Each structure stands twice: as C-alpha cells, then as structure tokens.
A and B are shown apart, each in its own frame.
Chain A
Amino acid sequence: LSGLHPLSKLLASLALVAIFIRLPAPYDSSMAMAVFLLATLVGRGSAAPLARILLRLFLTAMLWLLAMHTLRFSPPYFLFRELGSLLPYAGRFALALGLVASWNRVFTKDEIYAVLVNWAVPSPIVFLILRSVFLVPQIQRRAVDVLVAYHARGERLESLSDRARALLRSVPTLIASVFSESVDASIALSTKGIFNPGPRTTMARLVIGRADVAAASLSLAGVAAILYITAE
C-alpha cells in the first residue's frame, strides 16, 4: 500500500470513509470507526501494520473532506452532513492540526511536492505552502512551551499588561529561532539542487501502475457494494 500513487491512496481512503458511514444497521458507523481505531491501537502481529495503514488512509480522507468542506465544494450530501454536524468550531481546529500530522505520516513532503509539481503548480509556490504547513505545528508547540514555562515559573498572566509583556518577551525568541532554521533548510535545498537548474538529487517521478488501477477498482467496487447493500 505504501508504494501506491498518492491519488490511489486518496481514492482508497475516501472509499473507506464512505463505506464506514454507509454501514447498514445493526452496525453503527461511529461504533465501527471506534472499533477500527481500537484495533489499530491494540493490534498485534500481521494485522497491526495493516490497521495502521488503514488508519492513515482514513485520517487522510478526513483531511481531504475537511478541505472540501472548508472550501465549500460539494461532496456527497451524507459526507457533508456528517462532517458539518460532528465538527464544532474548536474541535475542527484541533482536528485540522491532528490531521496535518497524520498527513505527514502518510505522505513524505517530496511525494506531495512531486504530485503538485506534476499538476503544473509552480514549484516555489508548492514549496512555500508545504513548508508553511510543516512549520506551523512546530511554532505552535514552541508557543505552548513558552506558556508552560511562564506558568512553571509562577509568572503572573492575569492582567492585560502582564499578558502583553509575556507576548513581547516571547515573540522575538520564537521568531528568531524559526528564521535561524530557515537558513539551515535553505542550505539543504541548495544541496539537493531544488530551485536551481540541472539535475536534482531527489524528486521521485510518480507513475500510476497496475497496483494503482487495482486499488482504485477495489475502492470503487467497495463503495458500489455498500451502496447496493444499503439500497436493498
């Protein structure tokens, strides 16, 4: 599964979510998902790697659906309704962060980069967006560390001036560290030859092979089967 084209993974994960949501009675879709997640956590032996891959596919599909929901595309009504009703504002924020992390485990940055560049999106723009996405959780984690340190030292954060002072003291350090890392990252980019003419040391060429066709067919067949069963 890990060798599949990212588009096949997306299609398979979408099919998986659709199948879960359309599970007929007496199986409850949310209960099925809970059992599935539990199996992933406690799974052993040969089932564990498969369960982990399925979990990643599921989370990737959720991220994709979240994107569609957010951008107001028109996914099938039942998926839209499930997401819309289950995701309150604060929960969606936490979910988005978690899904970005899960996405990171499903695809490598180079893989996403290659797919988008193959779709003729300018490579610097792709880099800018992806690099930002991967930096955001790091910055947030550091911001949380700063706040935890303030509390641990017993600093007062009750009044507006206390909180403003805390912000003024923490932001320069926070940002300076991010910029310093930018220098290291740019050296790595130059070494790989990215943004420069000539051959690159990384940049996998992704092709859709027979395994992808099989995965896509299985996904569509699964969705068709569950729709047929629930229509009966």
Chain B
Amino acid sequence: VKSVTYTPFTWNFLAACAAINFGVGFLVQALKLPIYLDSIGTLLAAVAVGPVAGVLVGATSTILLTFVTAPTTLAYAVTAAAIALLAGALAKWGYLARLVPTALFGVLIGIVSAAVSAPITVYLFGGVSFAGADAVTAFLAATGKTILSSVVLGGLATDPLDKLVASVLAFLLMKRLPARVKALLAAPRR
C-alpha cells in the first residue's frame, strides 16, 4: 500500500466519491436498470488515491445506504472493503487505465464481491439480501439447491455484470475528470 498524505482536496474528493456511490445508485434505480452501480465512487477512490481511501469511501457510503435502505446493508461494508482493496491492488496492472484490463478485472471484482457477500447473506440474514439477486436466489433454492449455493450462484448472476459496467463507467470518468481535479490528484501530496 502506497503511503499517502491526505490533503483537504483528498478528503473532499473521497466525500464526493462516497456521495457518488449513492447518487448514481439513485439514478440507476430511477431509470429502472437491472443493476446497482453503487460502487463507482469506491473504485475511483481506490485507484486514484489508494486502497485504504477506497475502503473509507466504501464504508462511508455503506453507512449512508444503511440509513435509507435496510439495516442489513451495514454488514456489507466488508464487501465494499474487499472491492476497494482489490481495485487498488489491480491498478498497477492497468485497471481503470486501459479498457481491456478494466473490463476483465471488473468481472473479477464482481466474482470476488459475490463470494464475499454470500457468507454474510447466508449466515447473518438467512439468504435474504434485500437486493435484486434475491429473485435469482429464490428461483435457485426452489430448484432444490442449498441456500449457500443458491446465494453464491445468484450473486454470480448479477455482481460480475454490475461491476463490469461500474468499472467501464469509472474508466470513462477517469478519462473525463476535470483538468484541475486531475492536476490536484497528480500533484505531490504534502
């Protein structure tokens, strides 16, 4: 993990990333799209500032989501942290810098996200996550699969696609960041 001294701009950037997680998720819901896109800010922070910053953004947006969605959301802070750490680690291999690695690693992040979320959903909440994947989980459970395998497969049916789209959007955003924001992110941090 690279050492970063956080400036006032860094903290403002991270707060904006946390709010973006929430705001884009809201827009996606309003447009009735079958994905979540509630981790774009986490991915941006993890790559632009560092994995620890991504974890902070993930935790903050999870706390915000907890207040307006379901109390169970708080438990998924672990998933947000895993996404941030992985995205930050993958940055050195071109994640959010080149399109092909971004797409491939986006799918990988989705798989890891599903794998980390599944035990939380099963052992803390009995298989119900209050998310769109619940419908898939219920269908799989009805076919005779165990709850754990149903939740894992349900997550794998939704998370890789979600994180792929989120990663590509984050990649486009990194390219189109305002010039003065790019300059401040690239400036030596004092």
**A-to-B contact residues, CB < 8 Å:** 66-67, 70-72, 92-93, 96-97, 124-125, 127-129, 131-133, 135-136, 138-140, 142-144, 146-147, 157, 160, 163-164, 166-168, 170-172, 174-176, 178-183, 185-187, 189-190, 194-196
Chain B residues with Cβ below 8 Å from A189 are: 8, 11-12
When the two chains form their complex, are residues A136 and B74 in contact, meaning their CB atoms are under 8 A apart?
no
- Determine how close the nearest CB of chain A comes to the CB of B182; give it in whole angstroms: 9
B188 at the interface (CB under 8 A from A): no
**Closest Cβ of chain B: how far from A197's Cβ, in Å?**
12
Asked, given contacts A135-B15, A186-B7, whether A167 binds B27 with beta carbons under 8 Å apart, the answer is yes
Lowest 6 A-B CB distances belong to which pairs? A139-B23, A131-B15, A135-B19, A186-B9, A189-B8, A182-B12
The reply on B24 being an interface residue by CB < 8 A is: yes
Is the pair A168, B12 in contact by a Cβ cutoff of 8 Å?
Answer: no
Closest Cβ–Cβ distance, residue A150 to chain B (whole Å): 9
Provide a sorted-by-A list of 26 A–B residue pairs whose CB atoms are within 8 angstroms: A70-B67, A71-B66, A71-B74, A93-B68, A93-B69, A96-B67, A129-B60, A131-B19, A132-B22, A132-B60, A132-B64, A136-B22, A139-B19, A139-B23, A143-B30, A167-B27, A167-B31, A167-B37, A171-B24, A171-B27, A171-B173, A175-B173, A183-B178, A186-B13, A194-B8, A195-B7
Complex alpha-carbon distance, A195 and B16, angstroms:
17
Name the residue on A nearest B34 (C-beta). A160
Q: Is the CB of B23 within 8 A of A143?
A: yes
Which residues does chain A contribute within 8 Å of B176, judged by CB atoms? 172, 176
Indicate if the CB atoms of A183 and B66 lie closer than 8 Å.
Answer: no
Contact of B178 among A146, A168, A180 (CB under 8 A): A180
CB of B109 within 8 Å of the partner chain: no
Please report the C-alpha to C-alpha distance between residue A136 and residue B18 in the assembled complex, in whole angstroms.
9
Contacting A179 at CB < 8 Å: which of B16, B18, B28, B63? B16
Q: Chain B 1-41 against A: per-residue CB contact (8 Å), 1 yes, 0 no? A: 00000111101111110111011101110111110010010
Contact B15 A127 (CB under 8 A): yes
Chain A interface, DSSP helix/strand/loop, else mixed = helix
Please, how many angstroms separate the alpha-carbon atoms of A144 and B31 in the complex? 10
* Residue from B13, B26, B40, B67 having most chain A Cβ neighbours under 10 A: B67
In the complex, the chain B residue whose C-beta lies closest to that of A168 is: B169
Q: In the complex, which residues of chain B have a beta carbon less than 8 angstroms from the beta carbon of A157?
A: 31
Work out how many contacts link A and B, with CB atoms closer than 8 A.
148
User: Which positions in B face A, CB cutoff 8 Å?
Assistant: 6-9, 11-16, 18-20, 22-24, 26-28, 30-34, 37, 40, 56, 60-61, 63-64, 66-69, 71, 74, 169, 172-173, 176-178, 180-181, 184
Q: CA A195 – CA B26 in complex, angstroms?
A: 31
Query: How far, in angstroms, from A131 to B68 measured CA to CA in the complex?
Result: 17
Smallest CB gap from B182: residue in A: A179
Residue of chain A at shortest CB distance from B18? A132
CA distance A231 to B126 in the complex (A): 41
Chain B residues, CB < 8 A from A138: 19
Q: Which residues of A contact B71 (CB under 8 A)?
A: 70-72
Residue from A128, A166, A175, A194 with most neighbouring chain B CB atoms (10 Å): A175
The answer to whether A132 touches B19 (Cβ under 8 A) is yes
Task: Contact check, B8 vs A190: say whether CB atoms are below 8 A apart.
Answer: yes
